[in-house]
Amino acid sequence: MNLYLNRRFYIGIAICIVVFLLGYSYPIWNDIGWWCIRLLILLVAIEFTLLKYNSKNIGISRTVSDKLSLGDTQHVQYEISNDSKIPLHYELTDELPMQLQHRNFIQRSIINAEDRKKIKYRIRPTTRGVYCFGKLHIYVNYPFLGLVQRRISVDIKREVGVYPSFIQMRNFELQVFSQTANMAGIRRIRQIGENDEFEHIRNYVQGDNIRSINWRATSRRGELMVNQYENSRSQMVYCIIDKGRSMKMPFGGLTLLDYAVNTSLVLSNIILKKHDRAGLITFSNKIGAIIKASAQHNHLQKLTNYLYKQVTGFNESNFELLFYTLRSQLSRRSVLLFFTNFEQPIELRRNLKYLKSLNQKHLLVVILFKNTELESVKDMPTTKMKDIYFKTFTQKSIMEKEKIAAEIKANGIQVILTAPEDLSVNTVNKYLEIKAKRMR
């Protein structure tokens, strides 16, 4: 804790100097200047003494969640207590994590005698990782003079992890399974048909359906054998995330990879709630995480931990490596929700053969991103030649992205072309459509 002179004291000194300067022309001002100096020193001594003892009754604390949600607005709460008998003016500053880039955090106000005040400060973390909150500082002085100020520092350093958006995950869970889903953009699709899938052959157990007896296996083994079917609702759904350089593009403070990570968590939770099996595969120039599709009780936490660690770079994505990895790792037909981004048609044509091969063995859904920054300026007025060039380039880029999506669809592959902020809604709707229509 430190006591030091406030800026108001130096203003008082400046006034005294002006008075002394007037004394060169009018000697009486010299006497006034000396009285001003004496009064200023007396006030400083009184305020210094009072503040030294009363400021001991000031308390400050910070409350922050154990983990923060990526891309969502959350709050850090501060509590200031004044147990002294007089009101105090305060300035609160916090050593916020560098990732937040809040360089001018100052909270100023007056706290009454024997009072407590709570302050909520909004933050929106836009990168995953560890956020370090440092020391908390408060500067107090008397509101009526404020010649002396005291700094109180509390060393309450804390590290908090920023994880994929669990707030968004909970919101979508409520929306999907509530009666008001349509209000949130979630489409309800009537479920049709039935499609159980063969799993393996096992010994007959009393009570089994006799229609499932495998007579060929029975004659070969000399004992009753039945076909074991797995209900179609136990579908294997994989989120495949491209971590190449195209996913480095930022929109609304988040990269495309961050949008894909958040949506993968949202979707995995809904997949598990729908009694399907959720899996995860990430890749760039090499394979990253491979999490086999499962429905175990701790599987969502496992997926969260892996999604938390995913980072992108400036490498070219290796679709050939992804294809051969999936061919060796996924023996059963699965639903593949593939988050990627093609900016040029040549990028698609170079890798289209791998997408077509994957679609033959699995149900592939390619998810592409609209460039919303370009779409926001395509209708801007043109007053200069450079504006015409820029607008023409913008419209050409938008049309190329639409052609890319159309070419994927023309090759029998399902595709979603979405704005980054609508990614979760559109992807969840596509999964629910696949689920309802028993698409395989």
Per-residue pLDDT of the chain (440 residues; tens, 9 = 90+): 576 676 777 777 787 778 777 776 777 777 777 778 888 778 878 777 777 776 678 889 999 999 999 999 999 999 999 888 888 888 899 999 999 988 888 888 888 888 999 999 999 999 999 999 999 999 888 777 777 788 888 898 999 999 999 999 988 888 887 655 554 566 655 444 444 556 678 888 877 778 888 898 888 888 889 887 654 557 899 999 999 988 998 888 899 999 999 999 999 999 999 889 999 999 999 999 899 999 888 999 999 999 999 988 788 899 999 999 999 999 889 999 999 999 889 999 999 999 999 999 999 999 999 988 777 676 677 777 777 777 777 788 888 899 999 999 999 999 999 999 999 999 999 998 888 777 76
pLDDT at 190: 47
166-193+233-436: CATH class: alpha beta
Q: Tokens 């994929």: give the residue.
A: 164
Instruction: Answer yes or no: same fold for 1-163 and 166-193+233-436.
Output: no
SS3 label, residue 26: coil
What single-letter amino acid sits at 167?
Answer: I
Instruction: Provide the b/e sequence for 335-357 (b: ≥16 CB within 10 Å).
Output: bbbbbbbbbeeebbeebbebbee
d(CA 110, CA 82): 10
Q: Which two tokens stand for residue 238?
A: 């994989």
d(CA 281, CA 34): 79
Question: CA separation (Å) from 30 to 12, 23, 44, 94?
Answer: 16, 5, 21, 45
Global confidence as pTM: 0.79
In 64-147, beta strands by DSSP E:
67-69, 74-82, 88-94, 107-111, 115-123, 129-133, 136-141
What single-letter amino acid sits at 20?
Answer: F
Q: Tokens 């791998």: give the residue.
A: 354
CA torsion, ordered 299, 304, 310, 316, to nearest 10 deg: 60
Count CB atoms within 10 A of the CB of residue 382: 12
Q: Tokens 């002085």: give the residue.
A: 141
Q: Which fold has domain 1-163?
A: Immunoglobulin-like (2.60.40)
d(CA 274, CA 103): 45
What are the structural domain ranges in the chain? 1-163, 166-193+233-436, 198-230
